[in-house]
Amino acid sequence: MNRKILIDVIGVLLIALVIVVGYKLSPMLLPKADVTVQPDPACNLHRQRCSVNLPGGGKVELSSSVQPIPMVKPFNIQVLLNGVAASRVEVDFAGLEMNMGLNRPVLQDQGGGRFIAEATLPVCITGEMEWQATVLIETASQRIAIPYRFSGIAHQHG
């Protein structure tokens, strides 16, 4: 009888530990920003580059090396910065209907405001899914987030 109580107590402690660790890691998983800029919702990343003007000046452009953006095939994601000096640029890919895991490549500085990384989106077994690609830009004074939405279709990988 004592052993069962001990196992139950250990189980409760493990659950509490998972909750505490999850809470402490959540800032790493959820992109945080000082400034969030909404892009033009009519811009379709499957067909074109999408750019946005920043409130304090400067311009950010996001594009994919393959259009439409493929599922389960690697492609290059590019961010062009004009009038913005960044110390770090990432793109956080998140499924809007289903958690598809952490997928946030850090883009490599190519010089001249051009940042590139290879990305691969997992396929959603239910078919079409809405994705959000949030460009995260760290400058000396702030972190800027620009959330772009697009659809991903499972049969695109074939």
User: 18 lies in which domain range?
Assistant: 1-30
The more confidently predicted of residues 74 and 123 is 74
Q: Specify whether 123 is located in the same domain as 67.
A: yes
Q: Specify whether 5 is located in the same domain as 44.
A: no
d(CA 95, CA 56): 30
Q: Specify whether 37 is located in the same domain as 26.
A: no
Q: Is the pLDDT of residue 98 over 70?
A: yes
Q: Is the pLDDT of residue 88 over 90?
A: yes
Q: What is the pLDDT of residues 31-77, one digit of tens each?
A: 567 888 999 988 888 889 999 999 888 999 999 999 888 888 899 99
DSSP 3-state assignment of 138?
strand
Q: Is the pLDDT of residue 154 over 60?
A: no
Q: Specify whether 5 is located in the same domain as 62.
A: no
Q: Specify whether 54 is located in the same domain as 91.
A: yes
Q: Is the pLDDT of residue 147 over 50?
A: yes
Q: Specify whether 22 is located in the same domain as 54.
A: no
| Distance from the first to the final alpha carbon of the chain | 57
Q: Is the pLDDT of residue 16 over 80?
A: no
Output the pLDDT for position 22.
Answer: 57
Inter-residue contact 97 to 129 (CB < 8 Å): yes
Output the pLDDT for position 155.
Answer: 40
Q: Specify whether 5 is located in the same domain as 40.
A: no
- In which band, very low, low, confident or very high, does the pLDDT at 26 lie, cut at 50, 70 and 90? very low
The more confidently predicted of residues 131 and 127 is 131
DSSP 3-state assignment of 79?
strand
What is the count of structural domains for the chain?
Answer: 2
Q: Specify whether 39 is located in the same domain as 111.
A: yes
Q: Specify whether 84 is located in the same domain as 52.
A: yes
CB atoms within 10 A of CB 131: 21
**Tokens 């409130």 -> residue:** 55
Contacting residues for 24 by C-beta, under 8 A, at least 6 apart: none
Q: Specify whether 38 is located in the same domain as 26.
A: no
Q: What is the DSSP letter of 9?
A: H
Q: Is the pLDDT of residue 145 over 90?
A: yes
Residues, the chain, total?
158
Of all residues in the chain, the percent with pLDDT exceeding 90 is 39
Q: Specify whether 100 is located in the same domain as 141.
A: yes
Q: Specify whether 15 is located in the same domain as 53.
A: no
pTM of the model: 0.74
